[in-house]
Amino acid sequence: MSSRAPRKPTPVTTDAPAANDASDAVAPDLGERRLYINRELSLLAFNTRVLDQALDERTPLLERLKFLLIFSRNMDEFFEIRVAGLKGQIALERELPGADGMAPRQVLAEIGTIAHKQIERQYAILNERILPELATHGIRIARRDEWTQKQRQWVRHYFRAEVAPLVTPIGLDPTHPFPLLVNKSLNFIVQLDGVDAFGRDSGLAVVPAPRVLPRLIQMPVDIAGHDDCYVLLSSIIHAHAEELFPGMNVLGCYQFRLTRNADLALDPEDVEDLALALRGELYSRRFGNAVRLEVADNCPKELTAYLLRQFGLAESELYEVNGPVNLARLFSIASKVNYPTLQYKPFVPALPKLLKHADDLFSVIARHDVLLLHPYESFTPVIDLLRQAAKDPQVLAIKQTLYRTGADSEIVDALVDAARAGKEVTAVVELRARFDEESNLSLASRLQQAGAMVIYGVVGIKTHAKLMLIQRREGSELVRYAHMGTGNYHTGNARLYTDYSLLTSDQALCEDVHKLFSQLTGMGKALRMKKLLQAPFTLKKTLLELIARETEHATAGKPAQIIIKVNALTEPKVIRALYKASIAGVRIDLIVRGMCCLRPGVPGVSEHIRVRSVIGRFLEHSRAYWFANAGEPVLYLSSADLMERNLDRRVECAFPIEGRKLQQRIHAALQLYLDDNSGAAELQADGSYRPAARAAGEALRDAQQQLLAKLCDVSA
């Protein structure tokens, strides 16, 4: 484990220029790198905040376990993508510092210090808090030294019947070199003594755990003595390792797991068939360059050193853990449904009054825009609209973008039905949605077989916009209906993520959506939109103009305020514009769930900016941009975060919310997040986060719970 001391926060000087000079200090390029927070370290801070939720005793126990496991899953991706990217820059000698000025080597050193500390803390929380508390409720993971004789016999039978036939132990010698191991697979390094039947005595072997076997096995009640007793596959293999090496003496057996670079490297200029190229890359993802080694903390130093040499890793990239190396596999316990007191109370998503008794969704949407806030309000109307369109003989064409959906989803079912019914169905499928590529290839194939036209978007630019367009003949006219959203067309995520949906027949908006689809499927110059903002063409430019206009209002002495809710804020030009607005006196409230490179609270620069992150039962995923605009608010909902990739290298859209009633509804929800003193943390000038302050005697305010209580039927 790295012994390097944590890097001290970058000092923030307080002798900032006066307000009338400060705008020059941040334009056109800050020149003050201390005003930016490193994006990788900010993302790591978000993951730490997720881990913190595992300690919040206001949260049901199994949900706390989920947060601990989500931290594992997030850290896996962090190493697979972010750490791998930094290592790649170093390997290729392309170490370009970011806006914060930190070079990749500096960032990696800081990541190592923080990650070691937080992963060690994660296992301490698991072993000292979560598992003992689960045991008091009758949920146990039985350790080998706790097995009864009856349990040992059952484990032995399970090993011989289910495990041993599938295991392939690999002795290491000149004819059996170290095997190529799959990314994040469970493996064991085994020390042996003795000579085998062929006279080999290398002393080492590797045992890859069969990937087809569950990592957590529930014991029968009559064996366990109670309902919920589990045993880890790693414990079963440990206990019977000698049976895999007959006649040999097993001196030690230690689990380990290797994390590899899982980013896909496709050069658009060298790809003729994206789907075919992607299938090949998906295979290679399993065997990318090593970035992290996790081993049991009782593994002898000489063995960990041996493994590090095999994978070309430094000691700082070794993580010794006190427990299973593949913690995310414990989700099977966390997702149990028969412990209501240990889980969040179930709820029924609401259905707006407009839709409760509506048999014809087209007639409702023709009269009123329908705004839905998921998961508090049901995603079903979006699915029902598509189903109705698939069956309606008056519907002629359906166009839809698909980013993360799933091949077997109700959305894809409806599109397949529509295509088979003879309607013109066009699906823009983004194959490169990270870690969903295989699923997207399957759904694309399924749609093509049904007769739909499948487009893979624009080469080199991901299609991230969430759009659906339905064209319907009504009398002598063709009428358009559209759905625009901040989240994916994924029914599972719609129960877990907070997102907005707008169902509309607004002529100008629907025309803009039609134009956007035309740009995606055809070729030509960017088309002028009336209402929709589109990346990479008009979205960033317009957002900067809106921030500048708010700055002008403040300079003129008018009330000025900006509220932005996004998943991430890293784009330097946007950050500079917000600094200028703050200097002018604009009150700026940012609700940023994850990465935030803006440094709030710097005297003379960002003292009017507040940044908070809300983590709770649901993943905060909606994006909203609200501008006071001298009493005539401007509000956009969007698929885009404020990141370089979203604004410059993706197809994104932002759609306006124009009616006062709908605007006020969204503003009221944003205010709940700004008032949250339960799951909110506030970003400090030094880059750290502190829990939102709550005065003595002040009532607990939880934005998500307030929205649940207001909109949903929550079971007692």
Q: Where exactly does CATH 3.30.1840.10 map onto the chain?
A: 148-342
651 near 465, Cβ under 8 Å?
A: yes
Predicted confidence at residue 225, as pLDDT, reads 81
In 567-588, which positions are buried (b, 16+ CB within 10 angstroms) versus exposed (e)? bbbbbbbbbbbbbbbbbbbbbb
Residue 482 reports pLDDT greater than 70? yes
Cα–Cα distance, 573 to 579 (Å, whole number): 10
pLDDT band for position 197 (cuts 50, 70, 90): low
Between 3.30.1840.10, 3.40.50.300, 3.10.28.10, 3.40.50.720, what CATH number should domain 148-342 receive?
3.30.1840.10
Predicted confidence at residue 11, as pLDDT, reads 33
Residue 487 reports pLDDT greater than 50? yes
Peptide bond into 536 cis (omega under 30): yes
680 near 613, Cβ under 8 Å?
A: yes
26 near 605, Cβ under 8 Å?
A: yes
Amino acid occupying residue 495: R
How much is the average pLDDT of 615-631? Answer: 96
Q: What is the pLDDT of residues 551-579, one digit of tens each?
A: 999 999 999 999 999 999 999 999 999 99
Sign, CA dihedral 678-683-684-687, equals positive
Looking at every residue in the chain, the average pLDDT score rounds to 88
Cα–Cα distance, 22 to 366 (Å, whole number): 50
How much is the average pLDDT of 99-113? Answer: 92
Active-site hit among 374, 464, 483, 553: 464
pLDDT band for position 18 (cuts 50, 70, 90): very low
CATH of domain 351-528: 3.30.870.10
Q: Where exactly does CATH 3.30.870.10 map onto the chain?
A: 351-528, 534-714
Residue 386 reports pLDDT greater than 70? yes
Q: Is 57 exposed, middle or buried (0-12, 13-18, 19+ CB in 10 A)?
A: exposed
Category of 43 on φ-ψ map: left (φ > 0), alpha (ψ -120 to 50) or beta: alpha
Strands of 186-193's sheet in order across: 170-171, 204-208, 186-193, 249-260, 290-296, 318-321
173 near 202, Cβ under 8 Å?
A: yes
pLDDT band for position 632 (cuts 50, 70, 90): very high
User: Which CATH superfamily, name and number, covers 534-714?
Assistant: Endonuclease Chain A (3.30.870.10)
Quote the distance between the C-alpha of residue 633 and its chain's center.
31
Residue 28 reports pLDDT greater than 90? no
Helix (H, G, I), strand (E, B) or coil at 203: coil
The pTM score is 0.89
pLDDT band for position 3 (cuts 50, 70, 90): very low
Closest listed residue to residue 605, CA positions, set 11, 23, 9: 23
Predicted confidence at residue 185, as pLDDT, reads 93
Amino acid occupying residue 448: Q
Looking at 261-381, which runs of residues are DSSP E strands?
290-296, 318-321, 347-348, 370-374
Quote the distance between the C-alpha of residue 613 and its chain's center.
15
Q: What is the pLDDT of residues 114-157, one digit of tens each?
A: 999 999 999 999 999 999 999 999 999 999 999 999 999 999 99
Residue 643 reports pLDDT greater than 50? yes
494 near 681, Cβ under 8 Å?
A: no
- Two structure tokens written together for 688: 């750290």
Predicted confidence at residue 379, as pLDDT, reads 95
Sort strands 290-296 and 318-321 into parallel, antiparallel or unpaired. parallel
709 Cβ contact partners less than 8 Å away, ≥ 6 residues apart: none
Report the DSSP beta bridge partners of residue 202. none
Residue 82 reports pLDDT greater than 70? yes
Cα–Cα distance, 524 to 17 (Å, whole number): 48
Predicted confidence at residue 436, as pLDDT, reads 60
Closest listed residue to residue 678, CA positions, set 705, 715, 696: 705
Question: Does the active-site annotation cover 374?
Answer: no
